[in-house]
C-alpha cells in the first residue's frame, strides 16, 4: 500500500494542530509541515506576555462567536464540532492543565507559553510529523485529485492533501500563490492595533491605566468598553484593541485619522456627572480638588484632567468656577483625542482579510473549489478580538481539517 501524504503549510498553532491530529487519526499518512521562517509557533511563544492565552472560557457558542468581527457565522458552525471544552480536554489528556482568569482568558497552569510549545512539539515527534523550516511555498498546482507544492528552492512536493495554515499577510500580493488556485482574497488589513496621538499631552502619563473606560469613534457607531492603557505614543489596552478589531476596515478607510471620545467614568454621562458634581461641591466644599479624588481614578490622571480643565492645585471644591467644572465634566466623560496613525500591538500581529469564507466548508475546512485543499487559522477571513479567540479558531479549524482528511483514509 502506497502511503498518502499531507503537506501542511505553516508552523503556527493551526498548522501544528492539523498536522498532529491528522497524524494520530490517520497513522498511514505521511505528514510534512513546512514553515517559511526559522521559528515554529512564534505567536504561541509571545501570546499573553509569554504566558500563551490558549482560549477563552466562553459559556456557549453564541457568546463565543460574537467576539469575531469577521467570520461570526463561520466560526459558530465550526465550534459546534470542536469548542472550548474540547480544547481544554485535548491539552489535559496530554498533561497540560488550563486555568481561567476572571476576564475569561485561559492560560496553562504554568503561566508559560513554553508548556504549550513543548506539548505540541512532543506530539509532532510522537507521531513522526516531518518538519521543514526556512522553506517557502511559491505555488500550489492541482494534479488530478492531488497537489504539487512548489518550493522556493525549485523543488516540488507531491501531496494527496494540502492544508494551508500560513497565517495572515499584511499585503494582498502575498496571497497571489493562493489566488492562483482560484480562490478570492478579501483584502488584508491590520486588526489589533493601538491609537497614536502625537502631540497629545496625555502621553506624559504613559503607564497609567484604568480598569474600565468607554471609547467610541466620532461620527461612527463604533464603541467599546474595557481596560485602557496610556502609552508614550497614545492609547492601548484591551478596550482600544477590541475597538481596533471591530473598526479595522472603517478606520483604514479613514487612513487612521479620526477622533476617539473617551469616557473615563462609564457609569456617568454629562448630565448625571454634572448632578454628581453639584453634590460633591456641597459635601466636600472645603477640601482641595487635587487631593480628594472621589472617582477612584489613578491620581496622575485625575491631576492631569483637573489641570486640563483649568483647575489649579490649590482650588477647593466649593471655590471651583462653574465653567471650569463643566470643562472637567467634559474631560471626564467626553474627552476628545485626535488620533493620527496606529501601532501594531507588541508582536501580536493580527490581520483581517484572507481566503473568502464562502469558498470554504466550515464543517470540513475543505475548499469548495478544489478537492483535498484545506485551510486553517488566520489565512481565512476570520479574526477575533484579543482574549484567546484567535487561538480557539486556530485549534478548531486545525482539528476539523485533520478529521476531514482522516475520514478519507483508504
CATH of residue 295's domain is 1.10.8
Whether 387 and 265 share a structural domain: no
Predicted confidence (pLDDT) at residue 70 exceeds the cutoff of 80: yes
Spatial distance between the Cα atoms of 104 and 389, rounded to a whole number of angstroms:
10
Q: pLDDT tens across 298-337, in order?
A: 999 999 999 999 999 999 999 999 999 999 999 999 999 9
DSSP per residue, 14-47? HHHHHHHHHHHH-TT-EEEEE-SSS-SSHHHHHH
Predicted confidence (pLDDT) at residue 45 exceeds the cutoff of 90: yes
Whether 244 and 332 share a structural domain: yes
pLDDT band at 1 (very low <50, low <70, confident <90, very high): very low
Percentage of the chain exceeding pLDDT 70: 98
Percentage of the chain exceeding pLDDT 90: 93
Whether 142 and 285 share a structural domain: no
DSSP per residue, 273-337? HHHHHHHHHHHTTTSBTTT--TT---HHHHHHHHHHTT--TT-BGGGS-HHHHHHHHHHHHSEEE
Predicted confidence (pLDDT) at residue 275 exceeds the cutoff of 50: yes
Whether 308 and 359 share a structural domain: no
Whether 326 and 383 share a structural domain: no
Determine if the pTM surpasses 0.85. Answer: yes
Whether 175 and 29 share a structural domain: yes
Whether 340 and 272 share a structural domain: yes
What is the grid cell recorded at 134?
526556512
- Measure CA of the first residue to CA of the last residue in the chain; give whole Å: 9
Number of independent structural domains in the chain = 2
Mean of pLDDT values over 93-106: 97
Whether 98 and 243 share a structural domain: no
CA atoms within 13 A on the CB side of 251: 31
Whether 183 and 200 share a structural domain: no
Q: pLDDT tens across 110-123, in order?
A: 999 999 999 999 99
Whether 180 and 149 share a structural domain: yes
Whether 163 and 149 share a structural domain: yes
Query: Given this model, what pLDDT does residue 272 score?
Result: 98
Whether 83 and 152 share a structural domain: yes
Q: Which domain holds residue 138?
A: 5-190+347-406
Amino acid at each position: 500500500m502506497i502511503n498518502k501524504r499531507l503537506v501542511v503549510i505553516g508552523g503556527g498553532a493551526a498548522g501544528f494542530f492539523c498536522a498532529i491530529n491528522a497524524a494520530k487519526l490517520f497513522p498511514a499518512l505521511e505528514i510534512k509541515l513546512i514553515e517559511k521562517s526559522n521559528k515554529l509557533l512564534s505567536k504561541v511563544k509571545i501570546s499573553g506576555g509569554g504566558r500563551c492565552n490558549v482560549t477563552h472560557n466562553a459559556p456557549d457558542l453564541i457568546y463565543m462567536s460574537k467576539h469575531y468581527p469577521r467570520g461570526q457565522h463561520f466560526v459558530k458552525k465550526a465550534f459546534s464540532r470542536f469548542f472550548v471544552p474540547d480544547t481544554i480536554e485535548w491539552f489535559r489528556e496530554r498533561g497540560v492543565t488550563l486555568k481561567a482568569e476572571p476576564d475569561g482568558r485561559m492560560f496553562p497552569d504554568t503561566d508559560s507559553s513554553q508548556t504549550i510549545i513543548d506539548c505540541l512539539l512532543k506530539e509532532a515527534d510522537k507521531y513522526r510529523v516531518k518538519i521543514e523550516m526556512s522553506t517557502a511555498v511559491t505555488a500550489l498546482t492541482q494534479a488530478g485529485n492531488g497537489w504539487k507544492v512548489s518550493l522556493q528552492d525549485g523543488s516540488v512536493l507531491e501531496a494527496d492533501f494540502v492544508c494551508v495554515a500560513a497565517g495572515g499577510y499584511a499585503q494582498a500580493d502575498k496571497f497571489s500563490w493562493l489566488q492562483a488556485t482560484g480562490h478570492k482574497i478579501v483584502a488584508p488589513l491590520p486588526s489589533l492595533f493601538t491609537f497614536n496621538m502625537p502631540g497629545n499631552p496625555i502621553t506624559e502619563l504613559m503607564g497609567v491605566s484604568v480598569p474600565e473606560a468607554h471609547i467610541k469613534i466620532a461620527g461612527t457607531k463604533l464603541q467599546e468598553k474595557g481596560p485602557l492603557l496610556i502609552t508614550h505614543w497614545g492609547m492601548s489596552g484591551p478596550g482600544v484593541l477590541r475597538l481596533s478589531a471591530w473598526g479595522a476596515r472603517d478606520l483604514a478607510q479613514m487612513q487612521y485619522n479620526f477622533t476617539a471620545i473617551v469616557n473615563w467614568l462609564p457609569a456617568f454621562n454629562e448630565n448625571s456627572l454634572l448632578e454628581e458634581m453639584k453634590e460633591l461641591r456641597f459635601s466636600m466644599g472645603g477640601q482641595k480638588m487635587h487631593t480628594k479624588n472621589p472617582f477612584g481614578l489613578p491620581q496622575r490622571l485625575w491631576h492631569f484632567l483637573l489641570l486640563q480643565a483649568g483647575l489649579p492645585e490649590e482650588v477647593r471644591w466649593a471655590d471651583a468656577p462653574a465653567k471650569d467644572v463643566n470643562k472637567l465634566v467634559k474631560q471626564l466623560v467626553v474627552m476628545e483625542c485626535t488620533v493620527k496613525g496606529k501601532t501594531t500591538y507588541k508582536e501580536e500581529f493580527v490581520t483581517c482579510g484572507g481566503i473568502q469564507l464562502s469558498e470554504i466548508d466550515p464543517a470540513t475546512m475543505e475548499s469548495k473549489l478544489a478537492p483535498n485543499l484545506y485551510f486553517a487559522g488566520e489565512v481565512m477571513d476570520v479574526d477575533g478580538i484579543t482574549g484567546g479567540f484567535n487561538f480557539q479558531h486556530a485549534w478548531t479549524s486545525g482539528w476539523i481539517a485533520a478529521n476531514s482528511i482522516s475520514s478519507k483514509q483508504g
